[in-house]
Structure 1
């Protein structure tokens, strides 16, 4: 009972604009700047190119084995190294942003992107021994893994700093879908070259060509767009303490309901992200044993991704302007649909069922990718910590991707099975996990505390402006 009273008291204090915490920040009037879209374009472009490195070697893995003498496992680790470095880097980003700002964090990522491009290409020199070439190429991938999460984690923070209540979700959506788009482009571009060394050179040229875009990313507008945009996010340490229910600063405080909601959000976000990413990696391994060709399998993966991107582009402005207070309700509606879709694949992945599979993947894509910006924005709403909540969501999402991929590989049937090496047990694992997790959404509330505070401060700013305006 005492904890509940404390929650109510501290929440009340945070909601009162008269407190010293809030009056220390900008209290209006607020303003938007057209140059905010240049930053969105820059972060989208940089993240799309940074996202190419992860899947770049997948479509050309056999060619790389032939040209460089690497083993197939070594080639697979050119992608795995990015996942391994991604995880610790994610939690360092809020620390860098808090100390040096958004622009400096982007500068560091861009330098890492350039280094990755040319260290990787240096490994293609024909005079190098096999192990020397591999060391340089994997080192290039290491630096790419530093760049990629920076732009991804910063998307909600940039939206908060530069956009008002009628544009934040749209801006987050544009920057968030850059990574899957970049991954798709990487899979299309890398096999377009007959020589793998030229393919790696092309990635280096593309990576270098986009780096000037970082100059379009500015730290903050002269006048903030909202009250939240005027505040510095609490530290990642204070966020983790708040989620754990430990004593922390007042600005980082979360009520018991917000802590529960955030844990549920992280669980759902990580599960849905892992399901899609794992399917993207194992598409042909899921479907080829059931008689589907590589081309048809690829088209099913593309249908999931493209339908989701179209749905996200169409829905994000609606969340900003129409369904402004319904992010929680949207998650409650779409999560069970996604869970049912993945569960249905246990029976749908069978021979001669092409039309049904396309339909299921399109439904999953529409619901899942649409929820990507919604989930990131809800994290900001619950924690009032844009970069910290984004870091937590992406960390656990990518961690679960690794777990899903390893688990499903282990569940592959033997060559003597019928059909040989089928992934039916992996599909059951995936479907049951996602469906069971999706049921947790019925315990989710999703109060948009950040928006409520911004709306209250906006009203006060308008009233203040009217009172001080000359008659």
Structure 2
């Protein structure tokens, strides 16, 4: 079946609202044929496994992305093993292998939305994105257990790295056999050619709604990374053990995965992106306030576990929903570009927040000594202020249009240039139809 090309015009960097949809003339055009392949789960399974194994390593078109990420994971792991196996170990070699593993991370993080856009229909995209994306923190949690089990002493580290390298090889090799794209697209939006790289970036950054999502997403991912890394420092000053902190961190991940497993299929069915955002964002922001008080509670570790469970549940529920919502409102720009921009902001702020919160740690004269109260105040204030941004979506200005969903539901079929549009995602389909009738 011939692929429909998006006519993006000769102008460069046009905004998304310079694009409009034209109704399909069903009397003159044959009904298109779409097909959903079972083999799509093969590639999805590969994304899940790659995200799991890359988390182990970091803690101790989609086919090209899969192959590139797999090569970096394979080479990085075996170089690390060579560095640890050498006499007395070669630190520089190990770090070079670790660097390659770090470079593979963006490929695994950016791929899920593009893969689900290409292979899945509106009935399964959020769940597919959730499964592939959340495999990363799941792998991190598993890796903490696996690494400590395989290496109980320094002399066992080479064997640990060897086992991880072997598992990485087994997981990554099938990536080279994932099909580039389905022979027959699963839905109408999957057959629309996405805009080139630079045009996509220029267009996406001019969408107001993108920033209302990107800024809080980056902040919350950044704080999630920093809080996860500092759980021990947050809890230990109050007399809790490292085991208590480990249990709390594990429950954070488990609660998040369970919540996402519930919310993602619900969103696939009802497409309530904004409703989920408006419910989960305030809960997530309140968790930062509660986390300030929970460790000092007279009821022991239980309040901290409850708060961290809600923290993980709200964060993991939001993650795939937000990633898919961004694709909806920036269609037909390439999904992986918007995902990469969001993840870049989150990972960058994660490092910055970790440094800031560590610097705010109390000294030995604190009450209790070495407490993280100032760090938690910092995160709570920023998280609550930034929560205002996503809550304004669809409140001011024209109604947001889920562009990709409209295409899939048969309201639209082609994309043409429209010069007189604002930079917001504000074009309703009915308005476009009326304008076309007047042409």
User: Equivalent residue for 2:383?
Assistant: 434
Determine if the alignment matches structure 1 residue 14 to structure 2 residue 20. yes
User: Equivalent residue for 1:72?
Assistant: none
Residue pair 1:290, 1:419 contacting (<8 A) in 2 also: yes
Residue pair 1:112, 1:143 contacting (<8 A) in 2 also: yes
SS in 2 for 1:223: coil
- 1:135-214 to 2 correspondence within 5 Å? 135-192=92-149, 193-194=151-152, 195-214=156-175
Cα distance in 1 between the residues matched to 2:343 and 2:16:
29
User: Equivalent residue for 2:226?
Assistant: 278
User: Equivalent residue for 1:346?
Assistant: 292
- 1:38-437 to 2 correspondence within 5 Å? 38-56=42-60, 101-128=61-88, 133-192=90-149, 193-194=151-152, 195-245=156-206, 259-321=207-269, 323-324=270-271, 326-350=272-296, 352=298, 353-384=300-331, 385-437=334-386
Cα distance in 2 between the residues matched to 1:311 and 1:262:
25
Cα distance in 2 between the residues matched to 1:313 and 1:244:
31
Structure 1 length-normalised TM: 0.77
- Alpha-carbon distance, 1:348 to partner: 2.0
Residue pair 1:274, 1:397 contacting (<8 A) in 2 also: yes
Cα distance in 2 between the residues matched to 1:455 and 1:12:
21
Residue pair 2:357, 2:375 contacting (<8 A) in 1 also: yes
Cα distance in 2 between the residues matched to 1:262 and 1:48:
29
- Alpha-carbon distance, 1:453 to partner: 2.2
User: Equivalent residue for 2:428?
Assistant: none
Cα distance in 2 between the residues matched to 1:187 and 1:10:
43
Cα distance in 2 between the residues matched to 1:430 and 1:196:
36
- Alpha-carbon distance, 1:236 to partner: 3.4
Cα distance in 1 between the residues matched to 2:405 and 2:43:
23
Residue pair 1:235, 1:388 contacting (<8 A) in 2 also: no
**4+ residue runs of structure 1 moved beyond 6 angstroms?**
none
Q: Larger RCO: Structure 1 or Structure 2 (Cα < 8 Å, ≥ 6 residues apart)? A: 2
Cα distance in 2 between the residues matched to 1:459 and 1:141:
46
Cα distance in 2 between the residues matched to 1:13 and 1:410:
47
Residue pair 2:295, 2:303 contacting (<8 A) in 1 also: no
SS in 1 for 2:286: helix
SS in 2 for 1:14: strand
- Alpha-carbon distance, 1:411 to partner: 0.5
Cα distance in 2 between the residues matched to 1:234 and 1:415:
56
Cα distance in 1 between the residues matched to 2:345 and 2:186:
30
SS in 1 for 2:387: helix
Residue pair 2:364, 2:370 contacting (<8 A) in 1 also: yes
Cα distance in 2 between the residues matched to 1:10 and 1:418:
53
- 5+ residue gaps, structure 1: 1-8, 20-25, 57-100, 246-258, 461-471
Cα distance in 2 between the residues matched to 1:214 and 1:286:
40
Q: 1:447 to 1:285 in 2, by over 3 A?
A: farther
Q: Which has the higher helix share?
A: 1
SS in 1 for 2:36: coil
- Alpha-carbon distance, 1:458 to partner: 8.1
Residue pair 1:328, 1:447 contacting (<8 A) in 2 also: no
Structure 2 length-normalised TM: 0.83
What is the CA deviation profile of residues 191-244 of structure 1, one whole-angstrom value per residue up to 9, with x for unaligned ones?
Answer: 112322222222222212212231452111111012221123223322332244
- Alpha-carbon distance, 1:417 to partner: 2.2
User: Equivalent residue for 2:405?
Assistant: 451
RMSD: 2.2
SS in 2 for 1:165: coil
Residue pair 1:169, 1:374 contacting (<8 A) in 2 also: yes
